[in-house]
Amino acid sequence: MAASSPPATATYTIAWIAALPHERAAALELLDEEHRRPKDFKKNPSDGNSYSWGRIGDLNVVIASLPYGVYGTTGAAVTAAHLVSSLPHIRIGLLVGVGAGVTGETHDESGHVVLERDVLLGDVVVSEPENGNGGVVLHDVIKAKVVDGKNRTLLNGHLNQPPDAFLHALGALRAQHLRRRSKMRELLAAFEQNEVMKDTFIYPGAEHDPLRAALKFSNPDRSRDASKIHYGTIASGNKLITIAQERNDIVTWLRENNIDPLCFETVAGGLMNSFPCVVIRGICDYADERKNDIWQHYAAATAAAFAKELLNYLDVDEIYGEGILAKRPRELKSDMQDVKTKTSRLVDSAAENEMRELQTWLCPTDYTPRLHQHQRNYQAGTVSWSFEDEQYNSWAQRGKGSNLLGGSHPGDRQIHTGSTFDRGATTQSRRRQSNPDLGP
């Protein structure tokens, strides 16, 4: 479609974020009208985003893309900050693209596939608040805590829910779908009519979906080609999940925290607290070893089709009631720093676990009982002279690395170890009292 004369920049109140090129292509194809760059648009020199402009229904929409090769929740937070710097009048947004479905796949005694939930490739998952979460959770930012005397790993932090304007639109659209079929099939026809896109953005066929193919053989009544829409929780993290066991472990842990995810993705976690949006994901794989790119383009198309249908249910007055993003710069900066800090802690935690495993391999015997015995026996002030040593204090302040104790008598080394352990535990306790953010 030919680009028409652009309206003023301030009339674009909705941002559609597409992280990948094929996600952006799908969004562009479904615009009712493409616009040239507004004459009054001034891009911030530090803004690395790429923008396209257009209209869907009565709404002017700007499509924003991350710089090519930038992924993850931290990259998304930077994208949101750049968007606000160039388009401060934007009020709400959509994050539209692909994700990995969670089916709860098992097999019965006959070896036939059994699905806990009917999430198949090409389906669409929409973030919606449930069970006390806002619709998106960060699955790789965690904290350890003692609950009922047991060590528990819990989610760390809270992500906001979609803006009210979108929640109201979702309610209206879901009610309509109880009466009439979704318009997604009609909207997807646009890709079939495009000579360039028709070979890659159309339905790939059940034979390329391992679960659809299995269901056609074992349970034809549950087999289907049409895409379904699912509403619920989306789990976001910095890393793509491509191993079934890893996926299952994360899902099990999330369910222990009263969270039952429908899909995984790698962008939304960096946006929700600073960029009010709804997250829409087309399912392109199952987060396991069967991952491939066959469904990537079609999944992007189904997500874009649902997004367009949803936009037609937005109330314009409610959009303007959301307030402009320019009023949230501190939230954006804080959110970016928060994601970076939590990611850094996660890396440190992984390194500590590796060190612990190495120490166990080097010395599998547990000397804790003997340590406690020596702690009861030595007198106060024992080996305190060593704590005044410059090399020891330099090592202790770094907080990392190992300390090698030498000596001819094993008992001397064990007493010294006990004293060092007590001193370190006391220091750590004081640090945590003065700074609760250090965690347990």
Q: What is the pLDDT of residues 176-206, one digit of tens each?
A: 999 999 999 999 999 999 999 999 999 999 9
Between 112 and 164, where is the model more confident? Answer: 164
> 386-414, pLDDT tens digit by residue?
667 777 677 666 655 665 655 555 555 55
Q: Identify the H or E element spanning 113.
A: strand 113-114
Domain boundaries along the sequence of the chain: 9-346, 365-438
End-to-end CA distance of the chain: 57
Q: Phi, psi (5° rounding) for residue 202?
A: -100, 170
pTM score, whole prediction: 0.74
Give the pLDDT confidence score for residue 439 in this predicted structure. 47
The tally of CA atoms less than 13 A away on the side-chain side of residue 113 is 21
Q: Give the pLDDT mean for 343-369.
A: 61
3-class SS of residue 155: strand
Q: Identify the H or E element spanning 86.
A: helix 72-86
Third-level CATH fold of 9-346? Rossmann fold (3.40.50)
> 12-58, pLDDT tens digit by residue?
999 999 999 999 999 999 999 999 999 999 999 999 999 999 999 99
Residue found by looking up tokens 């056609």 in the block = 216
439: left (phi over 0), alpha (psi -120 to 50) or beta: left
Residue found by looking up tokens 């804790």 in the block = 368
Structure tokens at 384: 């305190």
The answer to whether the CB of 94 falls within 8 A of the CB of 277 is: yes
